[in-house]
Amino acid sequence: MSVFDVEIEGLRGGPADLEQYRGKAVLVVNVASRCGLTPQYSGLERLQETYAGRGFTVLGVPCNQFMGQEPGSSEEIAEFCSATYGVTFPMTEKIEVNGDGRHPLYRELVGVPDAEGHTGDIRWNFEKFLIAPDGAVAARFAPQAEPESAEVVTAIEKNLPT
């Protein structure tokens, strides 16, 4: 199974159809609207604008498991992201990324280590996973890694489809 085979709803309902991203590089990020890292939305949107034409997308995945920092409804999340950060990248339904209720998407992701060797549970909002065009998890980045940091940008550019 690959991440492209996982079923998940879009933020505004209906299937998100991850299969449409096969052949693209995808940065999957668990996001939250009331977190100290929420300003990362700006960098994520700039990545989207910079690389979307080259076979890349950010995929925002709202999660409320970290101190209740994403309490809103789908409509509230969509409005906040659009009005506050001008987000144009796709977003999924709000899910759980840890524990017994961990969504199948994150079951596919959490076994991959980041640069420090961390695997397993998501540590906080804005942890990032780069999916290669073939569906393999190419990289994992800690929540504090800025979206436009050299390590993230280099990994994205290395995994853009040719």
Q: What is the CATH number of the domain that holds 9?
A: 3.40.30.10
Q: Which two tokens stand for residue 81?
A: 């992201």
Is residue 63 part of the annotated active site? The answer reads no
User: Which of 9, 10, 34, 35 is labelled catalytic?
Assistant: 35
pLDDT at 2: 86
Per-residue pLDDT at 10 exceeds 90: yes
pLDDT at 103: 97
Distance CA 83, CA 110 (A): 31
The whole-model pTM stands at 0.97
Place of tokens 């970290």: 66
Per-residue pLDDT at 154 exceeds 90: yes
At CA 93, angle to CA 126 and CA 157, rounded to 5?
45
pLDDT at 149: 98
Q: Domain count for the chain, please give it.
A: 1
What range does the domain containing 51 cover?
Answer: 3-159
- Cα torsion at 45, 133, 21, 51 (round to 10°)? 30
Per-residue pLDDT at 162 exceeds 90: no
Mean pLDDT throughout 37-44? 98
pLDDT at 28: 98
Longest dimension (CA), the chain: 41
pLDDT at 1: 75
Q: What are the pLDDT digits (tens) for 70-97?
A: 999 999 999 999 999 999 999 999 999 9
Percent of the chain with pLDDT over 70: 100
Identify whether the C-beta of residue 105 lies closer than 8 Å to the C-beta of residue 8.
yes
- Cα torsion at 45, 102, 136, 56 (round to 10°)? -10
